[in-house]
């Protein structure tokens, strides 16, 4: 760094890139949440909370993919250095969007139960360590935890406090976070949708990252091989012709068995320092001499040529090296001097070509013309690209079905006969049967004295196809005959489908099934919500069967670990009013 560098602050270039990042995120979210549902031909659009969860999560994943691509891009083309200079800003933004995703999940899937949301997220799935139910939530929690640590330690205070090697090691865990995020998507959203769009976007992003890193590594190996010191003399090694060092620039020499060394030329004099910047091990040899100081291409840190020290008031120091000329050949002593040791620059009379003048310095007032062209393309292209991705992924959302709360009808008042076993059911005089449920993720605790009585129930109706449920506010006895229809047997059946909680599947959430809803369904079943079996095909005109044990008793606790999985179930089918009930042994349910 130099005294002219403002360590914390924004210049026009930084403000432009930050504004582009914010505009890109806004374009993505608006396209996903607002525009895509308008263009979908769904029976009903997904509820706002589900859309926001998906939008925030996919946006954070795409941002993380973009952030990890910046490093290899700059190795392949230095015109992308402005992105590297602002990469930490993008990383913090990624963490913020991921936090919004986590908050949306906690406020929806893990809310409305007796268990605190965070505890529910971490402990609601008893199948965390079972092979058949490989969970996706722990991988998401791990990825988010790493992002929080990286964002919290992104400031240079932590780099100095932890020391650069430790700080760098911590921040390299971003690759572990990305791997966990990929598993979170693959085991969750990808398994829960039949649309190939998400898989294609995931494969394109992951494939691009792999190709970029392999290409950057290949180019780095070629560059190192071309710049490796050809001699093996001791202690001096040949660094090639002195004329090869450009004025204002550097060459990098790789002494056998030693660290790479950057040899700079300034005003006809040569100086050698470690090629690794003391800030984040940036490649100093790709930098330039600016205002008489070696300037790192990554973040603009500066060092004096003669002693490798950052100008006051800064205290960073580099190891220095001795140079000598043998004819027109430059030789290097590969033994480093202690950081900050003064070595008089070596005068050379050999003409040299000037270094290119398009060097980017993050703290400068404006980037060179070539970089301004790239920044202009980013200003226009990145927000449009993110907006297009938001539209594509938003349109690929699965049809949530027609289930929903009937809020428009207000509170309903119905009269019928209530029974408590296996779950609270209300038989209406019309022959229609309603399941009863409480607020949030809870069932209805009926007064035993009401079992088999005629009652008046008030609440909000939830309806999906042939499945109806009443979210009860009050149940009170009324005069009149109590009529409970006799069960009508339909024989023994073997069916394939999915076990869900009845409330969310009816329409309390859209969708109320699938792997994304697994942990929420487990909380509902634990709270007393009756389980339903959603069949792969219609059975006697319905696709929803109330699930009971072989003796007709409740089985919610026994089937919790099997929710959201494709299973085969065998048992006897009977009709109660117009609601079908399947009696099956949960111990004999088989995974398909």
Spatial CA neighbour of 61 closest among 173, 152, 143: 143
User: What percentage of the chain exceeds 90 in pLDDT?
Assistant: 45
Q: Do you know the residue count of the chain? A: 592
Phi/psi for 428 (5° steps) reads -85, 155
The mean per-residue pLDDT over the stretch 492-520 comes to: 87
Contact 153, 145 (CB under 8 A): no
pLDDT at 138: 87
pLDDT at 293: 93
Residue 517 has pLDDT above 60, yes or no: yes
Residue 7 has pLDDT above 50, yes or no: no
Phi/psi for 499 (5° steps) reads -90, 125
User: What percentage of the chain exceeds 70 in pLDDT?
Assistant: 90
Q: What is the pTM of this model?
A: 0.82
Grouping H, G, I as helix, E, B as strand and the rest as coil, residue 463 is: strand
Phi/psi for 379 (5° steps) reads -60, -40
Residue 284 has pLDDT above 60, yes or no: yes
The mean per-residue pLDDT over the stretch 271-280 comes to: 90
The mean per-residue pLDDT over the stretch 277-298 comes to: 88
Residue 369 has pLDDT above 70, yes or no: no
pLDDT at 4: 40
Contact 311, 2 (CB under 8 A): yes
Q: Give the confidence band of 1 by pLDDT, cuts at 50, 70, 90.
A: very low
pLDDT at 167: 84
- CA end-to-end distance (rounded Å), the chain: 62
pLDDT at 473: 93
- What pairs with residue 285 in β-bridges? none
The mean per-residue pLDDT over the stretch 175-184 comes to: 94
Contact 557, 526 (CB under 8 A): yes
**Which of the listed CATH numbers 1.10.10.10, 1.10.3720.10, 3.40.50.1820, 2.102.10.10 matches domain 247-347?**
2.102.10.10
- Of the CA atoms within 13 Å of residue 326, those in its CB half-sphere come to 8
Spatial CA neighbour of 372 closest among 58, 35, 82: 82
Q: Give the confidence band of 47 by pLDDT, cuts at 50, 70, 90.
A: low
Q: Give the confidence band of 89 by pLDDT, cuts at 50, 70, 90.
A: confident
C-alpha of 226 from chain center = 39
pLDDT at 2: 40
Residue 101 has pLDDT above 70, yes or no: yes
- Rounded to whole angstroms, how far apart are CA atoms 372 and 358? 10
Spatial CA neighbour of 182 closest among 99, 29, 64: 64
Determine which of 133-142, 272-281, 334-343, 376-385 has the lowest per-residue pLDDT on average: 376-385
Grouping H, G, I as helix, E, B as strand and the rest as coil, residue 468 is: strand
Determine which of 90-99, 225-234, 335-344, 359-368 has the lowest per-residue pLDDT on average: 225-234
- Rounded to whole angstroms, how far apart are CA atoms 255 and 404? 71
Residue 489 has pLDDT above 90, yes or no: yes
pLDDT at 8: 44
Tell me how far CA of residue 245 lies from CA of 288, 295, 350, 359, 466, in angstroms.
12, 16, 10, 16, 80
DSSP string, 484-547: -PPPEEEEEEEEEEEEEEHHIIIIISSS--SGGGHHHHHHHHHTTPPEEEEEEEEETTEEEEEE
Contact 32, 55 (CB under 8 A): yes
pLDDT at 229: 53
Residue 124 has pLDDT above 70, yes or no: no
pLDDT at 314: 79
Domain range annotation of the chain:
17-223+366-395, 247-347, 404-591
SS3 content of the chain, % helix, strand, coil (to 5): 40, 25, 35
- Ranges 276-290, 423-437, 456-470, most confident: 423-437
- Ranges 287-291, 325-329, 452-456, most confident: 452-456
pLDDT at 82: 77
For residue 170, count CB atoms less than 10 angstroms from its CB and return exposed for 0-12, middle for 13-18, buried for 19 or more.
middle
Residue 514 has pLDDT above 50, yes or no: yes
* 103 or 408, which is more confident: 103
Query: Which residues in 183-199 are b (16+ Cβ under 10 Å) and which e?
Result: bbbbbbbbebbeeeebe
Residue 201 has pLDDT above 60, yes or no: yes
Computed on alpha carbons and rounded to an integer, the radius of gyration of the chain in Å comes to 33
pLDDT at 222: 77
pLDDT tens per residue, range 157-168: 887 788 878 888
180 CB-near residues (< 8 Å, 6+ apart): 139, 140, 142, 143, 146
- List strands edge to edge, sheet with 237-241: 237-241, 329-332, 323-326
The mean per-residue pLDDT over the stretch 574-586 comes to: 93
pLDDT tens per residue, range 528-575: 999 999 998 888 888 899 999 999 999 988 888 888 888 999 999 999
The mean per-residue pLDDT over the stretch 177-197 comes to: 88
Residue 383 has pLDDT above 70, yes or no: yes
- Rounded to whole angstroms, how far apart are CA atoms 78 and 296? 12
- Rounded to whole angstroms, how far apart are CA atoms 498 and 519? 14
Angle among Cα 293, 294, 299 to the nearest 5 degrees reads: 110
pLDDT tens per residue, range 320-332: 999 999 888 899 9
Number of H-type helices and E-type strands within the chain:
15, 23
- Rounded to whole angstroms, how far apart are CA atoms 589 and 568? 6
* 38 or 490, which is more confident: 490
Residue 6 has pLDDT above 50, yes or no: no
For residue 400, count CB atoms less than 10 angstroms from its CB and return exposed for 0-12, middle for 13-18, buried for 19 or more.
buried
Q: Give the confidence band of 426 by pLDDT, cuts at 50, 70, 90.
A: very high
Spatial CA neighbour of 178 closest among 132, 213, 154, 221: 213
Residue 360 has pLDDT above 80, yes or no: no
* 546 or 226, which is more confident: 546
- Of the CA atoms within 13 Å of residue 187, those in its CB half-sphere come to 18
Determine which of 214-228, 316-330, 456-470, 489-503 has the lowest per-residue pLDDT on average: 214-228
Residue 267 has pLDDT above 60, yes or no: yes
* 103 or 13, which is more confident: 103
Determine which of 214-228, 344-358, 431-445 has the lowest per-residue pLDDT on average: 214-228
């Amino acid at each position: 760094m130099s005294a002219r560098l403002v360590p914390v602050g924004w210049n026009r270039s930084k403000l432009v890139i930050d504004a582009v990042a914010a505009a890109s995120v806004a374009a993505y979210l608006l396209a996903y949440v607002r525009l895509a549902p308008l263009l979908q031909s769904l029976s009903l659009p997904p509820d706002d909370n589900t859309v926001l969860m998906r939008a925030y999560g996919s946006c954070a994943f795409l941002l993380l993919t973009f952030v990890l691509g910046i490093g290899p891009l700059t190795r392949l083309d230095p015109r992308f250095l402005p992105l590297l200079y602002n990469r930490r800003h993008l990383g913090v933004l990624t963490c913020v969007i991921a936090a919004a995703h986590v908050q949306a999940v906690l406020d929806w899937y893990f809310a409305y139960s007796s268990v605190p949301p965070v505890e529910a997220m971490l402990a609601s799935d008893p199948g965390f360590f079972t092979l058949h139910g490989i969970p996706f939530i722990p991988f998401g929690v791990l990825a988010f935890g790493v992002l929080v640590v990286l964002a919290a330690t992104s400031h240079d205070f932590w780099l100095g406090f932890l020391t650069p090697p430790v700080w760098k090691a911590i921040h390299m865990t971003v690759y572990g976070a990305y791997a966990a995020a990929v598993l979170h998507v693959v085991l969750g959203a990808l398994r829960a949708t039949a649309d190939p769009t998400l898989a294609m976007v995931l494969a394109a992003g992951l494939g691009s990252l792999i190709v970029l890193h392999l290409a950057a590594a290949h180019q780095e190996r070629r560059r190192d091989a071309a710049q490796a010191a050809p001699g093996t003399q001791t202690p001096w090694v040949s660094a090639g012709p002195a004329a090869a060092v450009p004025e204002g620039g550097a060459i990098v020499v790789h002494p056998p068995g030693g660290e790479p060394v950057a040899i700079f030329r300034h005003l006809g004099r040569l100086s050698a320092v470690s090629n690794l910047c003391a800030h984040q091990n940036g490649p100093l040899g790709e930098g330039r001499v600016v205002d008489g100081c070696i300037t790192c291409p990554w973040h603009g840190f500066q060092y004096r040529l003669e002693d490798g020290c950052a100008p006051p008031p800064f205290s960073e120091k580099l190891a220095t090296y001795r140079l000598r000329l043998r004819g027109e050949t430059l030789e290097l002593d590969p033994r480093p001097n202690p950081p900050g040791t003064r070595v008089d620059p070596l005068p050379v009379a050999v003409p040299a070509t000037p270094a290119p003048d398009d060097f980017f310095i993050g703290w400068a007032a404006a980037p060179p013309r070539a970089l301004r062209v790239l920044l202009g393309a980013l200003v226009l292209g990145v927000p449009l690209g993110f907006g297009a991705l938001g539209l594509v992924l938003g349109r690929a959302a699965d049809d949530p079905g027609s289930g929903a709360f009937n809020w428009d009808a207000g509170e309903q008042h119905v009269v019928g006969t209530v029974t408590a076993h296996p779950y609270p059911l209300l038989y209406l005089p019309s022959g229609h049967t309603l399941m009863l449920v409480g607020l949030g993720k809870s069932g209805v605790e009926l007064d035993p004295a009401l079992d088999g009585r005629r009652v008046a129930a008030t609440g909000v109706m939830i309806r999906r196809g042939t499945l109806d449920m009443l979210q009860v506010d009050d149940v009170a006895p009324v005069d009149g005959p109590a009529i409970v229809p006799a069960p009508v047997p339909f024989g023994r059946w073997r069916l394939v489908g999915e076990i869900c909680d009845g409330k969310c599947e009816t329409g309390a959430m859209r969708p109320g099934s699938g792997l994304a809803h697994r942990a929420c369904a487990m909380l509902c079943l634990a709270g007393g919500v009756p389980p339903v079996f959603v069949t792969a095909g219609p059975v006697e005109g319905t696709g929803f069967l109330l699930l009971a044990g072989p003796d007709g008793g409740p089985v919610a606790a026994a089937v919790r670990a099997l929710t959201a999985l494709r299973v085969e179930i065998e048992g006897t089918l009977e009709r109660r009013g117009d609601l079908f009930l399947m009696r099956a042994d949960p111990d004999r349910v088989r995974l398909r």
